[in-house]
Amino acid sequence: MKNLKSLLPALWLGILVSSFSSCSKDDDKPDNTSNDPIVVSLTADSWDYYGKSSERYYAPASGTFEFNSEGVKGFGESYRHGAYLVTRSCFDLNNKTLYMKWKTHDGGAFCSYAISLTYSAFIYSDAGVNNYIDFNWCSSPTVYSTTTLINNDTWYYTTVSIANGKYVTKTATSNYADNGGTVFENRTNSISNTKGRLSLNSGDAYGGKASYIVVGELKVK
C-alpha cells in the first residue's frame, strides 16, 4: 500500500497530461472553431486550480478553490506561492478577443497577478518550467519591476485582442475598454502560439492562503 500511495501523484499527473494533450502546442482542434461568442461558465466543470508550490491540481474545497455568487475563487497555496485558475477548455485566440472580469486580494502583503494562456497541464514549477504566456502584470499593495498597481477587492475588466502575431491588452475600471471603461493598463507584445487554456494567476504571494483571486466573467469572441 505504501508503494501505491507513492505512485499516486505521478499517476494523477499522467492522467492530467493525457486529458490536456488535446490542447498541446501542436493541437489543431481547439474548442472555439466557430465565430460565435463563447461564455465560459463559472462552475466546477469549466475550471481547474493549479497550485504553484505543490505543482498539482486540486478539487474544489473551502479555503482553496471555491465557487460562489461572485464567480471562481482561488486562494494562494502557501507563502510566496500563488495559484492558477485555469479553464478546462482549450481556445484558439487568433483573431479573437478575450474578455475577463476579475479581482484580487493580497492578504496584507505583496502579490502579483496576471491573465495568461497556458500550453500544458504542467503549467509552472520553481525549477524553471514556464508553459504559459502572460498578457498583463499587476500587483498590490506595491509595485515590482513593471507591474501595474491595483487595489484589493476591486473589479477589473481586461481585454486581450490577438491578430497578426501580436496581442494587445487593455485593463480598465468600471467596464471593458471597448464599452466605456477607463483604461489604466496597456500592454502589447508578440505571440506565436495562440492555442491554450485561459487563466488568472497569482504569484509571489507573500500573504499565502490569505490572498486570493476571483474570476467574475470570461468570454471569447
Measure the CA dihedral 194/126/6/60, to 10°.
-60
DSSP state of 7: H
Contacts of 13 (CB under 8 A, 6+ apart): 56, 121, 122
Kindly state the cell numbers that stand for 90.
482549450
Q: What size, in residues, is the chain?
A: 221
What does each C-alpha distance from 151 to 88, 140, 182 come to in angstroms? 28, 6, 15
Q: What does pTM read for this prediction?
A: 0.86
Given this model, what pLDDT does residue 31 score?
A: 57
Kindly state the cell numbers that stand for 81.
506561492
Tens digit of each residue's pLDDT (9 = 90 or more) over 154-206: 999 999 999 999 999 999 999 999 999 999 999 999 999 999 999 999 999 99
Whether the per-residue pLDDT at 8 is higher than 90: the answer is no
Q: What percent of the chain has pLDDT over 90?
A: 80
For cell 478539487, the residue is: 59
Query: What 3 state SS string does 169-196 have?
Result: EEEEECCCHHHCCEEEEEEEEECCCCEE
Tens digit of each residue's pLDDT (9 = 90 or more) over 34-77: 677 899 999 999 999 999 999 999 999 999 999 999 999 999 99
Whether the per-residue pLDDT at 121 is higher than 90: the answer is yes
Beta bridge partners of 97: 161
Q: How much is the average pLDDT of 95-107?
A: 98
Spell out the domains of the chain, with CATH numbers in brackets.
2-220 (2.60.120)
Residue 171 to residue 155: CA distance in whole angstroms: 11
Best CA proximity match to 38, nearest among 198, 208, 190, 212? 198
Whether the per-residue pLDDT at 108 is higher than 60: the answer is yes
Residue type, 103: K
Whether the per-residue pLDDT at 104 is higher than 90: the answer is yes
